[in-house]
Chain A
Amino acid sequence: SQQGEEDPQALSIQEGENATMNCSYKTSINNLQWYRQNSGRGLVHLILIRSNEREKHSGRLRVTLDTSKKSSSLLITASRAADTASYFCATDPRRGKLTFGTGTRLTIIP
């Protein structure tokens, strides 16, 4: 079963705008991770935030985590066409085994 639900399911924005995706999960976690998948290929790890962290940055990515609400958000600033992909949050209710959310399909319009 899915641990995480993401919204929106699909998002289209103009190049240069910011994109925000949200993830909600159900059980306690050790950490929450975000992955990107291009066109049904393998997933690429983007960023990991630990359960005792509230915000983390990596380049144009900003992730927040609210454990009281069991939710996280991924912000991509100054979007580029190459950011077009599906984005998944993943949690680890069991050590080493990630459970993935439903995903957000992001389309950047040039």
Chain B
Amino acid sequence: SAVISQKPSRDICQRGTSLTIQCQVDSQVTMMFWYRQQPGQSLTLIATANQGSEATYESGFVIDKFPISRPNLTFSTLTVSNMSPEDSSIYLCSVGTSGNTGELFFGEGSRLTVL
């Protein structure tokens, strides 16, 4: 298992600003993902955070809007850039540990409200 800490847990942001979300894991993990959950919806994968290289983005998500860093095996950041009200969502960091069969562990999420 893995314990994941996300910061901030929630924030209210102004349109046009950017916010960086941090994800810290208590152990080294091979796989780290960022998901978005829009109000009342399911989770959508934004990207896979790759250690030491550029993130791999899913269709519909681009680096300019959601830049991601992963400097080591325990830490990653997701920035939501130039925010609009449509970016109001819960952003979730999740990790998969080596040797497991595919289950993911999730942080508590960062609830962003854009005014």
- Does residue B78 face the partner (Cβ distance < 8 Å to A)? no
Main secondary structure of the interface of A (DSSP, over half): strand
User: Among A30, A42, A45, A101, which residue has its beta carbon within 8 angstroms of that of B92?
Assistant: A42
CB–CB A98/B102 < 8 A: yes
0/1 interface trace, chain A 86-110, chain B, CB 8 Å (1 if under): 0010101001111111110000000
Q: What's the Cα separation between A31 and B101 when bound, in Å?
A: 9
Interface members, chain A 19-35 (any B CB < 8 Å): 30-31, 33, 35
Contact residues in A for B33 (Cβ distance below 8 Å): 97
Q: How large is the interface on A (under 10, 10 to 19, 20 to 34, 35 or more residues)?
A: 20 to 34
Cβ of B103 and Cβ of A40 under 8 Å apart? no
Closest beta carbon of chain A to B103's beta carbon, Å: 5
Query: Is the CB–CB distance between A96 and B45 below 8 Å?
Result: no
Closest 4 CB pairs of A and B: A42-B106, A42-B108, A100-B43, A43-B106
Q: Which positions in B face A, CB cutoff 8 Å?
A: 4, 31, 33, 37, 42-45, 48, 90, 92, 94, 96, 101-109, 111
Chain A residues close to B by CB (< 8 Å): 2, 30-31, 33, 35, 40-45, 48, 50, 88, 90, 92, 95-103
